[in-house]
Amino acid sequence: LFRVQQVAVLPIDSTGLESLTGNEALSGRLSELVSSSTEVTDEPGEPVVVANAEEASASAGFNVRLPADVAPAKIYVTDSAAFTLTVDRAKAQALLEEAGRADLVLPESIDGAKIAVSIPSTVNTTFGTCPEPQTDKPAMDEMDGPRESYPDCIVFSQMTSPIVNAPDGVDMAELAQIGLEFTGMSREDAEAFTDTIDWTSTLVIPIPRNAATHADVSIDGVTGKLIQRTTEYSSEYVLLWVKDGIVYSISGSGTDTARAFQMVEALP
């Protein structure tokens, strides 16, 4: 059983991932494998606009915090979602081998394993001029162009921890090590990293090596993470922290994070 209690950031080499994304046929088979192995058990609806923190709390089922004296543009609540992934080891192993990593062997114990993922309701509060969700809202890894159109947009997100249930025989640390080796990390480094992580309570955020920076920051009475990414076209940042069972993030464009920290200081 996995619940987020802390966040770790891991710079990775994208070499292994590029062997998938750069190979159209292989990437297509990966997408097909994921879709055929996934059963959606709780389909979320469209985000619903609410008037204030009280309405958001009643709808999301937890105490929603908003910064005092800072008027939000909109507050959206997205319903919970859930899905189950049934592992097909033979097909997954074949993809690894086709990607040139026959040295990475998935354990027999994962074959047929059912991994259930439950994503609770999420509250996203926008400040400034921001794109609408699920239409032109930019993803965190696709913000170079869209972010330039919304330079004053800040998004404050909060949710209770997602829950992942996996069978007892599935060793998440072993799978994580295989995944890290696939990205290009050496076996020794992958093993050393996985040994430092509690895989039942740590949300690991991968960031591209040499394209982003990260640092521990004191925020909201706890230790959080500040991730900053600068590209040829734009810059972006995200603040991440976990407090009292709630996962928080604030994202925006540019390199000036002062507004984000001021918002956190104004939280009740």
Q: Pairing relation of β-strands 6-12 and 202-208?
A: parallel
Q: How many CB atoms lie within 10 A of CB 238?
A: 22
The tokens describing 93, both together, are: 């192993």
Q: Tens place of pLDDT for every residue, the chain, 268 residues?
A: 789 999 999 988 766 666 666 677 888 888 899 999 999 999 988 999 999 999 999 999 999 999 998 899 999 999 999 999 999 999 999 989 988 899 999 999 999 999 999 999 999 999 999 988 754 444 444 434 445 678 899 999 999 999 999 998 889 899 999 999 988 889 999 999 999 999 989 999 988 888 889 999 999 999 999 999 887 777 899 999 999 999 999 999 988 999 999 999 999 9
Distances from the Cα of 138 to the Cα of 16, 143, 150, 174, 259, angstroms: 25, 5, 10, 33, 20
148 beta partners = none
For residue 118, report the phi and psi dihedrals to the nearest 5 degrees. -120, 120
CA 268 to CA 67: how far, in whole Å?
7
CA 107 to CA 115: how far, in whole Å?
15
pLDDT at 147: 53
Whole-structure pTM value: 0.86
Distance of CA 220 to the CA centre of its chain: 20
The tokens describing 249, both together, are: 């993030």
Residue type present at position 172: M
pLDDT at 139: 42
Residue type present at position 195: D
pLDDT at 124: 97
DSSP codes joined into one string, the chain: -EE--EEEEEEE--HHHHHHHT-HHHHHHHHHHHHHHEEEEE-----EEESSHHHHHHHHTS-----TT---SEEEEE--EEEEEE--HHHHHHHHHHTT-TT----GGGTT-EEEEEE--EEEEEESS-PPTTTTPPPTTS-HHHHHH-TT-EEEEEEEPPEEE--TT--HHHHHHHHHHHHT--HHHHHHHHHT--TTTEEEEEEETTTEEEEEEEETTEEEEEEEEE-SS-EEEEEEEEETTEEEEEEEESS--HHHHHHHHT--
Nearest to 234 by CA among 254, 214, 215: 254
Cβ atoms of 160 and 247 closer than 8 Å: yes
The tokens describing 205, both together, are: 């955020």
CA 197 to CA 19: how far, in whole Å?
27
